[in-house]
Amino acid sequence: MAIIIPANSAADTAYEVANSCRFNDGDSAYLSRTLGTPTDNNVWTFSFWIKRGILGSAMQLFDSDTGSGDEGYLMINAGNDPAVNIYDSAGNTAQFNISRKLRDPSAWMHIVWNFNSGDSTAGDRMQIWYNGVRGTDFTTNTQPALNDGSTINEAKAHRIGAKMNDSRYFDGYLAEVVFIDGSALAPTSFGEFDEDSPTIWKPKDVSGLTFGDNGFYLDFEDSSALGNDVSGNNNDWTANNLAAADQATDTPTNNFCTMNPLSQVDSSAGADNLTYSEGNCQVVLPATSTPKTYSGATMAPSAGKWYYELTLAHTALKNSWFGVRSYEENWGPANFSEPEGDGNILDGWFFKFGNNGTNSTGASGSDGHVHNNNNGTYSSIDASVTYVNDQVIGVNLDLDNGDTYLQVNGSDVYSGNTVSDLRTGYFYSPALFFEAGPAEGPTTTGKWNFGGCSPFALSSAVSDENGYGNFEYAPKSGYLALCTKNLGSDGG
């Protein structure tokens, strides 16, 4: 079995979602379109799947704003609680402020927001649904007046992933983005509960829906046109600061591992000094940070053979580490120290990048240490492996036998020997350790490619033997991408 920080992603399903789109708020990424004359401005449905990236920042998911007092939007506040608002300059208002928190960066969630101001039941005129369950947890619940028009679905500019006149950019992944003009649909038009696991909500084929004049369906399957509408209406959206590399295979039907901002632990007991971006696949330690910091990932298998890639970069070498660490041990600040000779790391291994800052250029490599701890027994491998900035490190993690094989730019290092002696049956997460401070030099950047969406450019797109993931180099035979499809079919 595997630990997956709770996610609502089916391991197998009749309907498969091939792609999502990664939005990186640091890129000011969003989609834009000016809608035409609607089929019915008083009736519509907005449906999408979301996997969050960074947390704790206000971000807009769907927005229409003329700047003249007319605005409609769905957003997530800085407190990680959603809100929907529709209001106009005449004082007409519909509003939900929602007490539910959306703060699981490993989970895919389905959200449906529908509007029908002509409904004779006042409490049903605007609704929001999460994974097939209607939301009722409101701190504010203001329903639209009978037959009120909506500032969403008017003939004016709209955005997905950003506010019209602000900088509230979304960060994370979106999939199966659908807008229905003229019908207020239930979530069962877009998803269904799994017949074998009735608490799991999964996507269904939406291509046969009636979309209406302004309706659209964004499936993100064309990397050259991420705003392409496949509803048949050709209501295409303009991609702003989105590139082909932002097309992801991390989807609601195949959830990929990422680094996990909720797992961060540092020696100062609470300073969140790491910056996560690129769909939580890039982690940066700023130069001014002083705490020593660990971070884990969203998946921790206990069996199977797994592959992922990463790069590390400094502008001056200092101590940075990557590896795996057992979830059976305490990650708290009370027993916190660096991996080298750390008796508190009961199970795990870390590769050390840096040689205590003695090379200020970053042009030459590390000292090549791998620090291995098996039930508190410490050992070190030093084969003088040379690593320079941005080389691709391939990690082949064999949890059936407790072994790990490393590659640099596709070639075996340490003569192809294992660098770990892990105990079998324990849950291991990909992990990082940064040791930095003003005296130790500039920013450190780690980029992890688990196969769902690479944070570094790929010159090739190699999948595992099951056909999942996009990697720069081929995994060793039998090693698979860390994703729910593989976890479901090949154990872990």
Rounded CA separation 120/118 (Å): 6
> Class for domain 261-490, per CATH?
mainly beta
Tens digit of each residue's pLDDT (9 = 90 or more) over 201-257: 999 999 999 999 999 999 999 999 999 999 999 999 999 999 999 999 999 999 999
Q: What is the pLDDT of residue 492?
A: 61
Cβ count near 342 (within 10 Å): 18
Q: Where are the domains of the chain?
A: 2-248, 261-490
Mean pLDDT, the chain, as a whole number?
86
Structure confidence at residue 312 as a pLDDT band (50, 70, 90) = confident
pLDDT at 124: 97
- Phi, psi at 96, each rounded to 5°: -120, 125
pLDDT for 6 equals 43
Fold equal for 2-248 and 261-490: yes
**What whole-number distance in Å separates Cα of residue 269 and Cα of residue 331?**
11
The pair of three-digit structure tokens given for residue 216, joined into one six-digit string: 């659209």
The pLDDT assigned to 363 comes to 39
CA neighbor of 398 nearest in space, from 302, 270, 257: 302
* pLDDT at residue number 267: 62
The DSSP code sequence of 259-303 is: B-GGG-EETTSS----EEETTTTEEEE-TT--S-EEEEBSEEESS
pLDDT value at residue 269: 52
The backbone region for 193, taken as left when phi is positive above 0, alpha when psi lies in -120 to 50, beta otherwise, is: beta
pTM above the 0.85 mark?
yes
* Alpha-carbon span 155 to 69, nearest angstrom: 16
For position 24, what pLDDT does the model report? 97
Q: pLDDT tens digit string along 71-98?
A: 899 999 999 999 999 887 677 789 999 9
Q: Which fold has domain 2-248?
A: Jelly Rolls (2.60.120)
Among 106-110, 271-275, 289-293, 349-353, the range with the most confident prediction by mean pLDDT is 106-110
* Positive or negative torsion for Cα 171, 175, 181, 182: negative
